[in-house]
Amino acid sequence: MEAALAWFVRSQDGAHGSFDQGAFEAWLAADPAHPTAFARAKALWDRFDVVSEHAQGRRKRPSPDRRKFIVGAVSMGLAGGGAALVAGRPDLFADFRTGTGERLALTLPDGSRVELGSDSALSLADLPELRRVVLHRGQGFVEARVEAARPFSLVAGSVTARTPGGSFDVKRLGDSVTVTTMTRTVDVDADGYRELQVEPGWQARYDHSRPPLLTRADLPDVIAWRQDRIVFRDTPLRLVAAELERYRRGRIILLSDTIGDLSVTAAFDARRTRDALTTIGETLPIRVTEFTQLLTLIRPL
C-alpha cells in the first residue's frame, strides 16, 4: 500500500518531474495486487472530482487541495462514495478557509476580530444575532469585543470556549483541541467533562477521550505562528506531524503507533518544514523518507 500511495501521488504531480512511466508500468506488472491498489486510489480521486465541483458551486470559493485530501483518504483506507466524503468534511462549505502557509485576518459582524492560521477553516453562526463561530480545523486567534450580555463562543469539535470578551487562541488538530487564554477568563467545556475556567496565561488541552489537561502556557510560544514560527515543547510526534502538515503540501504519515508518543522540543520556521523534518529525523530514533513533495513517511529505526 505504501508503494501504491507513492506511485499515485507521483502520477498526479507530474509537473515536478517525479513520475517515471516505464518504472510505473514495471511496478504494475510485478504483482497482481499492484493494479488493484492503484485503481482504488484512482477511483477515490474521480469521486472527489464531483465533490469539489459541488463545493465550488455552493460557495464560489476555490476547491480544497484535491491531492492533499485524496492522499489522506487512501492512507486511511477510505472506501466510501462522494456523499460520504462530503459528510465527513464539513469544512468543505466553511465561510472562510486558508491554504497552506496562508493567514487571514477577519472582522466579524459584531466587531470582534479573528486571525486564521495556515490550513484552517471557520464558519459563522447561522443566526446573525449569535456571537458564535465554528473552527472546523486549524488555528485561530480571537479578539472578542467585550459584551457582557452576549458572550462570544467558539466551537471546535466537542469543545466550546465562551467569554464576554478578550483574546484567546484555539488550535484544532483532528480530535485534539487546545484553548489558550491571553487577557480574560474563558469558560471551556467539552462533552462528558465539567466546565473549566481558564485564566489568562493558562491553557486547556482536550485530546481524544483523555481528561482535559489544564497547564500554564508560554504565551509567546503559543502565538509564534503569527510570525511564521512553530514551537514544540515535549510535544508527541503524532501532533508534531499533524502540525507540520498544515504548513506544507501533502501528507506526513507515521507508519507505527509506537513512535507517535516520542517527545519533540524544538522551534522551527513554518516556511521551512523540510528542514524541520530533517532535524527531527536526526534527533529521534526514526527514519524520515520523502517520496515526493506530497508524501513523507516516518518509521521507526
Taking residues 32-50, report their average pLDDT.
Answer: 67
pLDDT reported for residue 174: 81
For residue 47, is pLDDT > 50?
no
Query: 137-146: per-residue pLDDT in tens?
Result: 999 999 999 9
**Does this model's pTM top 0.85?**
no
pLDDT reported for residue 87: 45
Taking residues 192-196, report their average pLDDT.
Answer: 87
Instruction: Name which residue leads in pLDDT, 18 or 7.
Output: 7
CATH class assigned to 96-219: mainly beta
Number of H-type helices and E-type strands within the chain: 8, 18
Taking residues 191-210, report their average pLDDT.
Answer: 88
Binned at pLDDT 50, 70 and 90, residue 14 comes out as low
Write down the domain spans for the chain: 2-90, 96-219, 228-300
pLDDT reported for residue 260: 92
Residue holding cell 502556557? Answer: 217
Across the chain, mean pLDDT equals 81
Residue holding cell 485524496? Answer: 70
* Domains 96-219 and 228-300 equal at CATH topology level: no
pLDDT reported for residue 41: 65
- Assigned CATH topology for domain 228-300: Phage tail protein beta-alpha-beta fold (3.55.50)
Locate the DSSP E strands across the chain.
Answer: 96-97, 104-107, 113-116, 121-124, 132-144, 152-156, 159-163, 166-173, 176-181, 186-190, 196-198, 202-207, 213-216, 229-236, 251-254, 263-269, 286-292, 295-300
Binned at pLDDT 50, 70 and 90, residue 81 comes out as very low
Taking residues 93-97, report their average pLDDT.
Answer: 88
For residue 74, is pLDDT > 60?
no
Taking residues 242-252, report their average pLDDT.
Answer: 88
pLDDT reported for residue 19: 66
Binned at pLDDT 50, 70 and 90, residue 38 comes out as confident
Alpha carbons 286 and 280: distance in angstroms, whole number: 8
pLDDT reported for residue 39: 83
Taking residues 87-116, report their average pLDDT.
Answer: 85
Taking residues 205-228, report their average pLDDT.
Answer: 90
